DNA sequence: GTTGAGCGTT
């Protein structure tokens, strides 16, 4: 939904989808529309958002009516600073262009040969990123040289919920140990077993009658 | 409030 008057995929059969990456999490289709519309006729813009959170994922799809416009947009808007972030525009793998890629094995879309060796990394399923797409943190030191300045340790370093020493200590030797000990110590089963055994000689298969007999005489003479 | 690799809704 891009508020373009359509709910689903518009005439993708006659439109070229562009993938816009590196967008800010607050950039919406409305913000990109003017930018892309400037270079050509934009059919529709769609920015996938989290079904749960509803926030932009940082990328969107822009559909152009003509390929030349899309190509131009890719060339002109690719690297355009939007909201303080350089967005990357490239042909998406969906729609007419995707057909070529699937059939003719990456036809390069005859437009992306701008020297940008954007090696298409093996995209993982989208389900992952739906859960925590930033958890991957795939040391992508290489690839884009414009935003590389931030590739430091974006890892999900729990900002506030860090393991506190107190927590760690308590967790280390707390309920777990007590519980365990308690179970093994005061377990009704154990008692039952114990009692049962008490009635029976320690050795269930070795009553050692001989020993008894042998001790018997000794004990008798002992006193 | 944050985050940052990637390819989408009917």
Report pLDDT digits (tens) over A135-149: 444 444 443 344 343
Mean of pLDDT values over A195-222: 44
pLDDT at A190: 40
Mean of pLDDT values over A183-210: 42
The answer to whether strand B lies under 7 Å from the CB of residue A121 is: yes
The whole-chain average pLDDT of chain A stands at 60
Residues found in chain A? 223
List strand B contacts in A 189-218 (CB < 7 A).
Answer: none
Can you give the pTM of this predicted structure?
0.53
C-alpha count within 13 angstroms, C-beta hemisphere, residue A208: 8
Closest nt to residue A87, judged CA to C1':
B4
The highest-confidence range among A48-52, A95-99, A122-126, A176-180, by mean pLDDT, is A48-52
pLDDT at A20: 92
pLDDT class for A100, splitting at 50, 70, 90? low
pLDDT higher than 60, residue A2: no
The answer to whether strand B lies under 7 Å from the CB of residue A70 is: no
The answer to whether strand B lies under 7 Å from the CB of residue A135 is: no
Closest to A116 (Cα-Cα) out of A82, A155, A138, A89: A89
Closest nt to residue A90, judged CA to C1':
B7
Instruction: Tell me the pLDDT tens digit for each residue of A105-137.
Output: 555 544 444 444 444 444 444 444 444 444 444
How many angstroms separate the CA of A5 from the C1' of B1? 33
Residue appearing with tokens 């040969």: A113
Pairing between strand A60-64 and A42-46?
A: antiparallel
State the Cα–Cα distance between residues A190 and A185, nearest whole angstrom: 8
The answer to whether strand B lies under 7 Å from the CB of residue A188 is: no
**A56 against A198, higher pLDDT:** A56
pLDDT at A15: 81
Pairing between strand A16-21 and A60-64?
A: antiparallel
How many angstroms separate the CA of A48 from the C1' of B10? 13
The highest-confidence range among A66-70, A112-116, A157-161, A219-223, by mean pLDDT, is A66-70
H helix runs in chain A, sequence order: 29-37, 67-77, 96-104, 126-132, 165-172, 175-185, 188-199, 209-221
How many angstroms separate the CA of A115 from the C1' of B5? 21
Phi, psi torsion values for A86, nearest 5 degrees? -80, 115
**Residues 6+ away with beta carbon under 8 Å from A29:** A2, A3, A45, A46, A47, A60
Closest nt to residue A147, judged CA to C1':
B4
List strand B contacts in A 22-51 (CB < 7 A).
Answer: 22-25, 44, 46, 48
The answer to whether strand B lies under 7 Å from the CB of residue A63 is: yes
Nucleotides of B under 7 A from a protein CB: 2-10
pLDDT higher than 50, residue A181: no
Residue appearing with tokens 């030191």: A141
First to last CA, chain A: 101
């Amino acid at each position: 939904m891009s508020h373009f008057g359509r709910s689903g995929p518009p005439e993708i059969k006659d439109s070229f989808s562009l993938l816009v990456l590196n967008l800010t999490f607050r950039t919406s289709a409305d913000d990109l529309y003017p930018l892309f519309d400037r270079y050509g006729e934009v059919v529709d813009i769609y920015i996938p958002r989290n079904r749960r959170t509803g926030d932009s994922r940082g990328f969107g799809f822009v559909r152009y009516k003509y390929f030349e416009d899309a190509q131009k947009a890719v060339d002109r808007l690719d690297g355009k600073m939007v909201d303080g972030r350089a967005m990357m525009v490239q042909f998406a793998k969906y729609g007419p262009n995707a057909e070529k890629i699937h059939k003719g094995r990456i036809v390069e879309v005859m437009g992306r040969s701008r020297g940008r060796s954007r090696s298409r990394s093996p995209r993982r399923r989208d389900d992952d990123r739906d859960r925590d797409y930033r958890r991957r943190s795939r040391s992508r030191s290489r690839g884009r040289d414009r935003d590389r300045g931030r590739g430091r340790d974006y890892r999900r370093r729990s900002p506030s919920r860090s393991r506190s020493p107190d927590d760690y200590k308590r967790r280390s030797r707390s309920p777990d140990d007590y519980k365990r000990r308690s179970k093994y110590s005061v377990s009704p089963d154990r008692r039952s077993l114990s009692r049962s055994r008490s009635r029976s000689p320690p050795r269930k298969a070795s009553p050692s009658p001989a020993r008894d007999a042998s001790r018997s005489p000794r004990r008798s003479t002992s006193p």
